[in-house]
């Protein structure tokens, strides 16, 4: 728990709701410009800037807020997945992967695959294999091909989550590149 | 508090209840959604218990409207996917080599009914409970300060961010953001949208941190609140019974799982 306490300065605490608001704002814009979700930009940002614990808290609470704000009620069921995404961002951030775009893209790929695997059982067993989104057509296609409920959800996740997370990491890489160094060091625990 | 939440102010008995009582109701509906055996029991709980609470809270129309908006895509997807791909003997119709079975349809609709009950229970609580009162009630029971702060602040500020994002997006559109066909180019054009959002937020963040510290946010002594919560023995007893009910539902469900 030492890492947790170290990561939680007032500055970090104040950053997290801002990151959640960024998740929401960019997520809404993304649906109008592209088919990607791009709803974890803030989560990944906090993970990379501060650390795994802060990233996990951001992801978890972002999904709670998403439900509480009435944007998509089922969001809270995936809070754990979002926490994993945030924690991974912290790990990749500490490893320095987000400093160059090829590694950042790889970080996104790995995060996407992990997210797909972790969220598939929730979609399959809590929601009967659907999420009420357009991606259900993809799930249907996989079911038609003979996969069972869990398999079809894993397949759909693997088909769409990595692209979304690669794009997210690339955007975070680009944004951080342009950020003055003095801002970045204020947030990290060192 | 400002910001954007589902909360709707009403003069009703439901609204006057202590936030934790309403949270307990939501918990019961969530567990009932998981443990009720079939579509009849699920819809009975929904109409008899949930809708009457909604009517008591004068929230019936917003409740039905919001839950309909959330649930209809699920109903559609579940009916179609489980109807076609779940095992079943009674064929209702066929499409090419795929058969739509009654068992599949019923299975899909049952899942939809579970989701309806769970999501409506959550919605009912959010419609009738002010978030800051709920956070205060939880804080009194031991929820850490910072958790309530994060959720409440995020709820307060995100509309501003949506507005800011929309303004920047419109400016980008006039530079051809939506005309771009190439996905990679579109993503690169998103960066000048997000970067100013993040940068202005970080400056904001430093000021907020100083403001919080100036208000003794981290000082460990207990804090007095502007909001008053009203509680009484009846509600405390009610919450106790609701917790017992939740445990009973869990046991009931576990029994079902292990006796198959």
- Domain-embedded: residue B136: no
Q: Which two tokens stand for residue B71?
A: 């649930």
- Complex-level ipTM: 0.91
Give the Cα separation of B195 and B201 in Å (integer): 10
Same domain, B124 and B17: yes
Same domain, B180 and B89: no
Same domain, B201 and B253: no
Same domain, B175 and B202: yes
- Domain-embedded: residue B219: no
- Residue with the bigger pLDDT between B113 and A190: it is B113
Among partner residues A14, A61, A171, which is closest to B191 by beta-carbon distance? A171
Give the DSSP letter of residue A13: H
What would the pLDDT profile of B64-116 be if each residue is shown by its tens digit?
999 999 999 999 999 999 988 888 888 888 888 888 888 889 999 999 999 99
- Domain-embedded: residue B243: yes
pLDDT at A109 over 90: yes
- Domains of chain A plus CATH, in order, are 2-117+164-187 (1.10.1760)
Same domain, B31 and B125: yes
Residue to test with chain A: of B76, B119, B155, B158, most A Cβ within 10 A? B158
Which pLDDT does position B30 carry in this prediction? 93
> B178 to chain A: nearest residue by CA?
A33
Same domain, B48 and B23: yes
Same domain, B125 and B242: yes
Residue to test with chain A: of B126, B204, B205, B208, most A Cβ within 10 A? B205
Same domain, B154 and B40: no
Give the Cα separation of A83 and A76 in Å (integer): 11
3-state secondary structure of B34: helix
Q: Flag the least confident range among A168-182, B28-42, B68-82, B199-213.
A: B199-213
Q: What is the dihedral of CA B125, B126, B128, B134, to 10 degrees?
A: 90
Give the Cα separation of A68 and A1 in Å (integer): 28
- Domain-embedded: residue B163: yes
Question: In terms of residue numbers, what domain contains B47?
Answer: 13-129+230-258
Give the Cα separation of B162 and A76 in Å (integer): 21
Same domain, B17 and B80: yes
Same domain, B199 and B103: no
- Give this prediction's pTM: 0.89
Return the closest-CA partner of residue B106 out of B88, B132, B124. Answer: B88
Q: For B15-31, give the DSSP string.
A: HHS-HHHHHHHHHHHHH
pLDDT at B21 over 90: yes
> B216 to chain A: nearest residue by CA?
A10
């Amino acid at each position: 728990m030492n890492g947790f306490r170290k990561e939680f300065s007032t500055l970090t605490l104040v950053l997290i709701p801002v990151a959640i608001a960024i998740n929401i704002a960019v997520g809404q814009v993304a649906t109008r410009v592209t088919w990607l979700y791009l709803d974890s930009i803030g989560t990944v940002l906090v993970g990379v800037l501060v650390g795994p614990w802060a990233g996990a808290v951001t992801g978890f609470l972002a999904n709670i807020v998403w439900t509480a704000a009435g944007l998509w009620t089922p969001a809270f069921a995936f809070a754990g997945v979002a926490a994993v995404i945030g924690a991974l961002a912290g790990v990749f951030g500490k490893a320095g992967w987000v400093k160059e775009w090829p590694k950042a893209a790889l970080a996104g790929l790995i995060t996407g695959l992990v997210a797909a695997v972790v969220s598939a059982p929730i979609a399959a067993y809590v929601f009967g294999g659907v999420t009420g989104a357009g991606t259900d057509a993809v799930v249907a296609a996989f079911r038609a091909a003979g996969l069972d409920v869990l398999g079809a959800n894993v397949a759909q996740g693997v088909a769409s989550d990595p692209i979304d997370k690669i794009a997210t990491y690339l955007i975070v890489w680009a944004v951080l590149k342009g950020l003055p160094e003095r801002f970045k060091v204020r947030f990290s625990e060192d | 508090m400002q910001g954007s939440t589902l909360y709707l102010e009403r003069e009703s008995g439901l609204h006057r209840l202590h936030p934790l009582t309403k949270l307990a109701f939501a918990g019961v509906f969530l567990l009932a959604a998981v443990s009720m055996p079939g579509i009849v029991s699920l819809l009975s709980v929904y109409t008899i218990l949930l809708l009457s609470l909604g009517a008591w809270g004068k929230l019936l129309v917003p409740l039905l409207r919001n839950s309909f908006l959330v649930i209809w895509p699920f109903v559609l997807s579940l009916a179609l996917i489980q109807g076609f791909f779940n095992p079943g003997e009674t064929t209702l119709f066929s499409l090419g080599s795929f058969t739509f079975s009654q068992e599949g349809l019923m299975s899909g609709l049952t899942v939809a009914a579970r989701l309806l009950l769970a999501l409506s229970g959550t919605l009912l609580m959010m419609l009738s409970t002010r978030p800051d009162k709920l956070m205060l009630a939880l804080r009194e029971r031991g929820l850490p300060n910072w958790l309530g702060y994060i959720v409440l602040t995020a709820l307060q500020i995100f509309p501003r961010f949506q507005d800011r994002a929309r303004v920047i997006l419109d400016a980008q559109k006039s530079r051809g953001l939506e005309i771009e066909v190439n996905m990679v180019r579109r993503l690169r054009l998103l960066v000048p949208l997000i970067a100013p959002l993040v940068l202005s937020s970080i400056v904001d963040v430093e000021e907020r941190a100083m403001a919080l510290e100036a208000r003794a946010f981290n000082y460990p002594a207990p804090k007095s609140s502007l909001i008053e919560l009203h509680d009484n023995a009846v509600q405390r007893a009610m919450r106790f019974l609701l917790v017992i009910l939740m445990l009973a539902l869990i046991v009931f469900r576990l029994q079902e799982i292990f006796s198959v």
